Amino acid sequence: MTQVNEELPHTKHILLEKRIQNFTRTSFQHLEKLSNRSSYVARSCKEIMDRYDEREDGLYYLTTANGMVYQTFCDMTTAGGGWTLVASVHENSVYGKCTLGDRWSIQQGNNANLPDGDGNWSNRNTFGTAEGATSDDFKNPGYYDIYAEDMSVWHVPNNFPLDHWNLAAILRYHTNNRFLRMYGGNLLQLFKQHPVRYNIGSCSNRGPAVPIVYDHGDRESTRMLYGPHSRAEFEPGFITFRPINNERAAMAICSGVKPTGCNTEHYCIGGGGYFPEGNPNQCGDFPAFEAHQNWNPPKEMIEAAVLLFYR
Amino acid sequence: MTQVNEELPHTKHILLEKRIQNFTRTSFQHLEKLSNRSSYVARSCKEIMDRYDEREDGLYYLTTANGMVYQTFCDMTTAGGGWTLVASVHENSVYGKCTLGDRWSIQQGNNANLPDGDGNWSNRNTFGTAEGATSDDFKNPGYYDIYAEDMSVWHVPNNFPLDHWNLAAILRYHTNNRFLRMYGGNLLQLFKQHPVRYNIGSCSNRGPAVPIVYDHGDRESTRMLYGPHSRAEFEPGFITFRPINNERAAMAICSGVKPTGCNTEHYCIGGGGYFPEGNPNQCGDFPAFEAHQNWNPPKEMIEAAVLLFYR
Amino acid sequence: MTQVNEELPHTKHILLEKRIQNFTRTSFQHLEKLSNRSSYVARSCKEIMDRYDEREDGLYYLTTANGMVYQTFCDMTTAGGGWTLVASVHENSVYGKCTLGDRWSIQQGNNANLPDGDGNWSNRNTFGTAEGATSDDFKNPGYYDIYAEDMSVWHVPNNFPLDHWNLAAILRYHTNNRFLRMYGGNLLQLFKQHPVRYNIGSCSNRGPAVPIVYDHGDRESTRMLYGPHSRAEFEPGFITFRPINNERAAMAICSGVKPTGCNTEHYCIGGGGYFPEGNPNQCGDFPAFEAHQNWNPPKEMIEAAVLLFYR
């Protein structure tokens, strides 16, 4: 049992003093610069970059068409920059089967009477903060407000601080064919066209699969981020929307892959309110990522938040 | 299965280009105007209107007596304008009986040991955003901070965007007798005088019933927004506070009606932590709105958020 | 049944008119002063005090190293002032055993498979507001962003408004030996060194116990804030971090006391995800504060939020 009521030893004291002085001095200059960003008026990081010639990664203020102001992270370097973080999908517990924290599927239990689940893929509810995006689910007004052309996705280990996300990510990629123009300019609109809803169709009715460009990782490393049996039923190099599994459960996103089979609950995330197989074992934000040994992704994938960007 | 890796056809391209240009051009001028609103200092929409001569519906910044700043929607047109949106009651699932999402009754299950439920009618907890007020529960600092005289209520179909609320609403009305002055100036104070608490009294001890003026709808259309049996036990043309039912369960608001009977769980919303009858079937933000065929309101009423304004 | 459709009597009218005029006049001058605080750039209340010579208790804007802006309460008077409110631990229901609202332990049920619980003691998730800190759990970015030396703790009865916290508190104290320097400068870092995790060690492996200076209350009044049997196994006059009980459950903070025994679930707060004894009876933000008559703290302690400040 430690009891801290003595003074610190002298040398340790001096080192700490220096560390704190540096910390304070640099931070005030830095803070003033960051606080000047509050004068920017823009709806996306792309507009921040284009209008104010900003090139530094970090937090910026954005404004919705209605005038709601929020802060989020801008990636100003990847592939020309201008990427707005609009959401993160964070699995708080693989033991919770559509319980509290499963905002991207349903938090009220696996339930065929609630085919849309919590509905957050296609409503204007928001939650979380940019700095907390790897510690809990995050969704900001940009998700529904920005009119975007492309998406970028980062898989960042849980609880990493914002300034380390880029380097810590185990997978980073983006699209470059402006596919979102065909689907209304953002995920809210895309998922209105392709609802994340139980029993909306069968496995053959999945939404678009869009080819990706890798920023960290490649097709082979993508394969290895999913379980052994999963690798036999997808093609890496894509991002796929609204997959449907054998039992007609709908998911939202297959990150990095295009399904060629129908057991998408093992490698696609988010979902509606009902997953029939093994009720309620497959229900969750990472639906059946911890359900069957041969299908389970490695731990590093399960314990990484999926950050979604628009440009 | 769609796969989007081809270019868009040329003509469609041009149309989209134009749409995006318009979108960007108009929005920047609009955004700058909206962002100038951040210089306003006021505690309510009424003060914004009176002090800055603003007459446009939309989001404004407000400040509490302690200096907490938040954004909310101002209705600047109805009956002279100056109405501040302070809360919305949104039913996320009629199948959830006082489970997650039932912030206006109790989220921890029907429980006689918790007569006040989650207590949000009479505390300073806040949640949600103005833009998300039809997608989830909403409560902002105005609820407890503003000193108001009258209330306005809008029933808006779930998930409608803010700029369509007024037109989409299935019922809109307001009071004009300054009744809130007698109850401390807001709902926090009113519900301190008339606690939303199980077993605080009997059906005859309900709180005030205040006559309303219709802005959209009338007495007859109000009647039709509730179930057939309910219509026999209320008088339309009022807003009533803290009704109590036969089993001594307390509710918060009967929107549009004054009870003349005691089965208020079928047409009044919000509540304390315990609804004895059919435990837990009558517990919820919309307590027993989906419990008995002859009492159930039509679907359009159940699937509309109840927006509460002060002036 | 009251029905409010008559006018108010004349004299009452005049009194109310005056009250409202005063309310409005004073509040506008006051609001303008408060709104000027938005120009301050600082990471802590200490910096606000030092840089802008502010000495008034109340809400101020702070900015994280990454530029995230938030508002919180500054105590500018206690022992030289400069204290930043970073969190509050609020027990919403002693009947909820690690259910919704138990953010400082686990909201998904007592679970040995989730030894860290919800993990909020050592992640960057945030929730709640300063004005709502006595009505619900609160955690702001200061919790992980500020580099602090000392802590202050206030026990404030639930639902009291911010301007009455100081006077209403049943216990207030602070440390003055700069102990946080040895633990990384804040609780995020301290709890990385001493994880709040089930089965991380035994009762003899608890974290630091730091002596306190009383601002309201004393050693004897501290003793009386806990149950009769608890008084035999702690020494008042300290704040202790990461205690561990007989069954290897970890808690976060023993407020006001240093354990000399191992039944810390009766007088220490917060926790990991598993409390083995009487599963799940001892699990919660105030773990076993309502479990055994002879150990239970008085009601005033259970119904007071624990506010945590840094300096």
- Each residue of C226-269: pLDDT tens digit? 999 999 999 999 999 999 999 999 999 999 999 999 999 999 99
Q: How many CB atoms lie within 10 A of CB C303?
A: 16
- Lookup result for tokens 């509309």: B304
pLDDT for the residue B21: 53
* Contact predicate C169/C221, CB 8 Å: no
* Contact predicate B43/B62, CB 8 Å: yes
How many B-C residue pairs are in contact by the CB < 8 A criterion? 103
Buried b (16+ CB within 10 A) or exposed e, A174-195: bbbbbbbbbbebbbbebbeebb
Q: How far apart are CA B118 and CA C238, in angstroms?
A: 33
Task: Give B123 to chain C, closest Cα distance, Å.
Answer: 6
- Each residue of B209-246: pLDDT tens digit? 999 999 999 999 999 999 999 999 999 999 999 999 99
What is chain A's mean pLDDT, rounded? 92
B3 touches chain A (CB under 8 A): yes
pLDDT for the residue C12: 53
pTM for the whole thing? 0.93
- Check the CA dihedral B49-B53-B59-B62 and report its sign: negative
Q: How many CB atoms lie within 10 A of CB C158?
A: 16
Residue percentage of chain B with pLDDT more than 90: 86
Give chain B's end-to-end CA distance (angstroms, integer).
53
> Which residue in B259, B170, B252 sits closest to B214, CA to CA?
B170
Q: Amino acid identity, residue C59? A: L
Q: How confident is the model at residue C290 (pLDDT cuts 50, 70, 90)?
A: confident
> Which residue in B143, B125, B141 sits closest to B68, CA to CA?
B141
pLDDT for the residue A118: 96
Q: Is the pLDDT of residue C4 over 60?
A: no
Q: Is the pLDDT of residue B8 over 50?
A: no
From residue A153, give the alpha-carbon distance in Å to each of A79, A175, A185, C162.
13, 9, 16, 42
From residue B166, give the alpha-carbon distance in Å to each of A207, B160, B216.
34, 10, 9
Which range among A117-121, A225-229, C24-28 shows the weakest confidence by mean pLDDT? Answer: C24-28
Task: Give A206 to chain B, closest Cα distance, Å.
Answer: 6
Query: Dmax over Cα atoms in chain C, in whole Å?
Result: 71
Show the tokens assigned to A186: 């953002």
* Contact predicate C172/C217, CB 8 Å: yes
- Lookup result for tokens 């004299």: C11
Q: Amino acid identity, residue C244? A: I
pLDDT for the residue A121: 98
CB B23 to CB A114 under 8 A?
no
Residue percentage of chain A with pLDDT more than 90: 86
Q: How far apart are CA C159 and CA B119, in angstroms?
A: 10
Q: How far apart are CA B247 and CA B236, in angstroms?
A: 23
Query: What's the Rg (C-alpha) of chain A?
Result: 21
pLDDT for the residue B95: 85
B167 touches chain A (CB under 8 A): no
Q: Is A22 left (phi over 0), alpha (psi -120 to 50) or beta?
A: alpha
Which residues from chain B sit within 8 angstroms of residue C135, using beta carbons? 119, 123-125
Closest by Cβ to B68, choosing from C5, C28, C131:
C131
- Report the SS3 class of residue C132: coil
pLDDT for the residue B293: 84
Helices and strands of chain C, counted as H and E runs: 7, 13
Q: Is the pLDDT of residue A24 over 70?
A: no
- Selected residues 99-128 of chain C with any CB under 8 Å from a CB in chain A: 100, 107-108, 111, 113-114, 118-119, 122-126
CB C108 to CB A100 under 8 A?
yes
- Each residue of B31-89: pLDDT tens digit? 999 999 999 999 999 999 999 999 999 999 999 999 999 999 999 999 999 999 999 99
Q: Is the pLDDT of residue B208 over 80?
A: yes
Task: Give C222 to chain A, closest Cα distance, Å.
Answer: 19
CB C4 to CB B42 under 8 A?
no
Closest by Cβ to A63, choosing from B34, B101, B161:
B34
- Each residue of A153-178: pLDDT tens digit? 999 999 999 999 999 999 999 999 99
- Each residue of B118-161: pLDDT tens digit? 999 999 999 999 999 999 999 999 999 999 999 999 999 999 99
> Which residue in C122, C73, C21, C102 sits closest to C287, CA to CA?
C102
Q: How confident is the model at residue A21 (pLDDT cuts 50, 70, 90)?
A: low
Tell me the pairing of strands A238-241 and B58-63: unpaired
pLDDT for the residue C16: 55
* Contact predicate B166/A159, CB 8 Å: no
- Lookup result for tokens 């270019």: B7
Q: What are phi and psi of A15, to 5 degrees?
A: -60, -45
- Report the SS3 class of residue B62: strand
Give chain C's end-to-end CA distance (angstroms, integer).
53
Torsion angle of the four alpha carbons B113, B114, B116, B119, in this order, in degrees rounded to the nearest 10 = 170
Give chain A's end-to-end CA distance (angstroms, integer).
53
From residue A211, give the alpha-carbon distance in Å to each of A236, A308, B6.
9, 16, 10
B71 touches chain A (CB under 8 A): yes
- Each residue of C16-70: pLDDT tens digit? 555 555 555 668 889 999 999 999 999 999 999 999 999 999 999 999 999 999 9
Q: How confident is the model at residue A252 (pLDDT cuts 50, 70, 90)?
A: very high
- Check the CA dihedral C229-C231-C232-C235 and report its sign: positive
Q: How far apart are CA B83 and CA B76, in angstroms?
A: 6
Q: How many CB atoms lie within 10 A of CB C196?
A: 30
CB A34 to CB C63 under 8 A?
yes
- Report the SS3 class of residue B197: coil
pLDDT for the residue B151: 98
Show the tokens assigned to B302: 């159940």
- DSSP 8-state code for residue C250: B
Q: Spell out the residues 6+ positions from residue A111 whose beta carbon is closer than 8 angstroms to its own.
A: A98, A273, A274, B95
* Residue spans per domain, chain C: 38-310
Q: Is the pLDDT of residue C289 over 90?
A: no
CB B41 to CB C27 under 8 A?
no
Q: Is the pLDDT of residue A113 over 80?
A: yes
- DSSP 8-state code for residue B103: T
As beta bridge partners, residue B152 has: B174, B309
Q: What are phi and psi of B208, to 5 degrees?
A: -65, 145
Q: How far apart are CA C167 and CA C193, in angstroms?
A: 35
What is chain C's mean pLDDT, rounded? 92
Q: What are phi and psi of C236, to 5 degrees?
A: -75, 165
Q: How confident is the model at residue B22 (pLDDT cuts 50, 70, 90)?
A: low
Tell me the pairing of strands C304-310 and C83-89: antiparallel
* Contact predicate C177/A5, CB 8 Å: yes
Q: How far apart are CA B26 and CA C177, in angstroms?
A: 58
Q: How far apart are CA B134 and CA B90, in angstroms?
A: 7
Q: How far apart are CA A257 and CA A241, in angstroms?
A: 10
Q: Which of C1, C139, C160 to mutate to test the interface with B (most CBs of B within 10 A)?
A: C1
Q: What is the ipTM of this complex?
A: 0.91
B9 touches chain A (CB under 8 A): no
Q: How far apart are CA C103 and CA C114, in angstroms?
A: 14
pLDDT for the residue A9: 47
- Report the SS3 class of residue B16: helix
- Each residue of C147-162: pLDDT tens digit? 999 999 999 999 999 9
From residue B269, give the alpha-carbon distance in Å to each of A72, A106, B138, C225.
36, 24, 15, 39
Q: What are phi and psi of C69, to 5 degrees?
A: -100, 135
Q: What is the mean pLDDT of residues B161-174?
A: 97
Q: How confident is the model at residue A27 (pLDDT cuts 50, 70, 90)?
A: confident
- Lookup result for tokens 């998300």: B132
- Each residue of C116-157: pLDDT tens digit? 999 999 999 999 999 999 999 999 999 999 999 999 999 999
Q: Is the pLDDT of residue A2 over 70?
A: no
Q: How far apart are CA A17 and CA B77, in angstroms?
A: 59
How many A-C residue pairs are in contact by the CB < 8 A criterion? 103
> Which residue in C126, B173, C3 sits closest to A133, CA to CA?
C126
pLDDT for the residue B2: 41
Q: What residue of B is the nearest CA neighbor of A192?
A: B159
Q: Is the pLDDT of residue C8 over 50?
A: no
- Each residue of C62-76: pLDDT tens digit? 999 999 999 999 999
Closest by Cβ to A68, choosing from B1, B27, B131:
B131
> Which residue in B257, B265, B254 sits closest to B221, CA to CA?
B257
pLDDT for the residue C22: 53
pLDDT for the residue A289: 87
- Report the SS3 class of residue A224: helix
Q: What are phi and psi of C307, to 5 degrees?
A: -95, 130
* Contact predicate A212/A241, CB 8 Å: no
C9 touches chain A (CB under 8 A): no
Residue percentage of chain C with pLDDT more than 70: 92
pLDDT for the residue B27: 81
pLDDT for the residue B5: 40
Q: Is B128 left (phi over 0), alpha (psi -120 to 50) or beta?
A: left
Burial degree of A216 (CB within 10 A; 0-12, 13-18, 19+): middle
Q: In C28-187, where do the E strands start and end?
A: 58-63, 69-75, 83-89, 138-139, 151-157, 171-174
- Report the SS3 class of residue B96: coil
Q: How far apart are CA C161 and CA A150, in angstroms?
A: 47
Q: What residue of C is the nearest CA neighbor of B102?
A: C100
Q: In chain A, where do the E strands start and end?
A: 58-63, 69-75, 83-89, 138-139, 151-157, 171-174, 209-211, 213-216, 234-236, 238-241, 253-254, 257-259, 304-310
Which residues from chain B sit within 8 angstroms of residue A211, using beta carbons? 5
* Contact predicate B175/A164, CB 8 Å: no
